[in-house]
Structure formats: structure tokens, C-alpha cells
Structure 1
Amino acid sequence: MVRAPIGVHVSHLPIGYTTVVVGAATYFLAHDIYYKKHGKDYVVVEPPEGKTTTVAASDSQNSEWLIYPAEGQSDKELERDRYQCHRWAVSQSDYDPSRSKNQHSKRDDYYRAQAACLEGRGYVVK
């Protein structure tokens, strides 16, 4: 396997990538290679210096979700958007995961609505 050279542009990220935040900068990591969003493409960059944070959903029902800030949103923006999308999904589905139990059909509607809202705000939800 040959390591991708710094500066190479790709149109899609490899399967299994994770989103890493360093300060206000968002990177995408796959197979020990870092990428940054550049227009519609991604460019291979040097590994960032500093403390990194992997961005992922945290509640138990959708803990397998990864939420990628595709437009460079900060952690603060992500948390605000997740909360606002949660409130909107509750109003659309009549299901609140913090209060409702055993309503599986409504729960699925809630998570679909929440994902659609986040995607509408520039996140990639996987």
C-alpha cells in the first residue's frame, strides 16, 4: 500500500473515515491519512498538531451515528444544531427519547427526522 502524498485532491473520503476537530479546524481521518475539505473535494494534509476531538453522537439510542460537520461547524454549533434538531424531530414525530418508551414506530420517525434536520444544516450523518 502506498501512502497518499500531501496535497492530493480526492472527490470522496474513504469508507470508515472519522471526523477529527483540532481547535476550530475539522479534519477527516482514514487509514492514518488526514484530509481537509477544499471546495467540493478533500485534500490530503499533514497530521494536525494539538489536542484532537472525534465528533460522534453521544445519546444511547443513536450512539452508532457519526455526525460529520461537512461545512466546518464548531463543536458549539454542533451541540446547538443537535439540540434544535432534537426539538424539531420531537415536534414532527411526537416522540421524545428522554420521555417516551416502547414506541418503536415513533422512535424510528424521530431519528429519521433528526437526521434529515442535521443534514439540512450541513452535517453528514452516518
Structure 2
Amino acid sequence: MPAGNSQVSWQGRSYYFKDGYWYRPMGARYMLIVPPYGVSIPYMPTYAQQVWIGAVPYFFAAGNYYIWQPDSQTYQAVSPPQGESTTLAESSYDVVAYPESGQAPEQQDRDRYECHRWAVGESDFDPAAASNAPPPDVAGKYKQAIGACLAGRGYSIN
């Protein structure tokens, strides 16, 4: 789990938030997750985008949607607007990877994390630490690198 995260308690459980990414404890490790819908945070990552879907302004960061709550001055995680996908790979920096060799969920998490770290080194870009959107060629290089790494570990890449 990245350093400098914020702990968020919601409905009796602890979650951790850092730069748009959410984690929860899973034994001795932490697993990257979609935030539970309804949980609120006081700020959005600087790279978050405001998108209008119909007449509703959403904020989109790391594949997750939020709505500003003026009463509490927080951003509330919400389900994707109707017709939108719910996968973590919605971000423009990620890839959809399907395990082809029966990798267990723990192995998938480890592979994705290790490939992310490798792609950061290859592209000199870390979407989890980005304060601004990178030029398209940099984002593309990161996405190509993480896809190649995951393909090399036995995943089908879309």
C-alpha cells in the first residue's frame, strides 16, 4: 500500500485511500478495490476529471465515480452512471486483463501491482502519483508496458 494514504472508516470497516485508489485489508496484505458506494472523502486527486452525464456532474478518478455533497463538503463514491462499466480498468492508464492460467485472486493482485511498478519504470509515469494528466504518448507508453508485462504473466489483454 502506498505511503501517505488516508484511512477512511465506513459502516464499521476501515478502508485506505491514496491518489484516487482504494485499498482494504486482506489478511496481512492490502487489496486494491472499488470504493464502497456511499463512502465519502474530503478531496479528489488533482488529476480527477469532472464529467457531465445528462444533467449530473460527476468526478472521475482511477476508474471510480463520485458526486460532490455540498452539505458535508465531501465527495461521495457512487455506482457508475447507467451504461458505464464498473471495472477498475476504466482509467485511461489501465488495461483489462483476464487470467488465462487460473491465477488466484491473490496472484492477480500481486501480478498487477508488480506490472504496475515495472510499467512506471519503463514509462517514467506513475498514474497513482500523477498531479496532472500526462501527454497521450506517455500514458500510452505506460499502458503498453503494463499490458506487455501482464501478457507475459499469462493474461489475455483487451
State the TM-score, normalizing by the size of structure 2: 0.41
2:104 corresponds in structure 1 to 74
Asked if 1:94 corresponds to 2:128, the answer is: no
1:99 aligned partner, one-letter code: A
| Structure 2 CA distance for partners of 1:117 and 1:75, relative to 1, 3 Å | same
C-alpha displacement of 1:124: 0.5
Gap runs ≥5 in structure 1: 1-55
C-alpha displacement of 1:102: 2.3
Identity %: 38
Q: SS in structure 2 opposite 1:68?
A: strand
C-alpha displacement of 1:60: 4.2
**Equivalent residue in structure 2 for 1:108, among 119, 122, 140:** 140
2:35 corresponds in structure 1 to none
Q: How many matched pairs?
A: 71
Runs (4+) of structure 1 exceeding 2 A deviation are 62-66
Q: After alignment, is 97-106 or 86-95 more displaced?
A: 97-106
C-alpha displacement of 1:108: 0.8
- Confirm or deny: 8 A CA contact 2:94 2:143 kept in the other structure: no
Distance 1:89 1:75 in 2: 21
RMSD over aligned CA atoms reads 2.3
State the TM-score, normalizing by the size of structure 1: 0.50
C-alpha displacement of 1:62: 4.6
- Confirm or deny: 8 A CA contact 2:93 2:139 kept in the other structure: no
Distance 2:111 2:92 in 1: 16
| Structure 2 CA distance for partners of 1:124 and 1:57, relative to 1, 3 Å | farther
Gap runs ≥5 in structure 2: 1-85
Greater strand share, 1 or 2? 2
Distance 1:63 1:107 in 2: 6
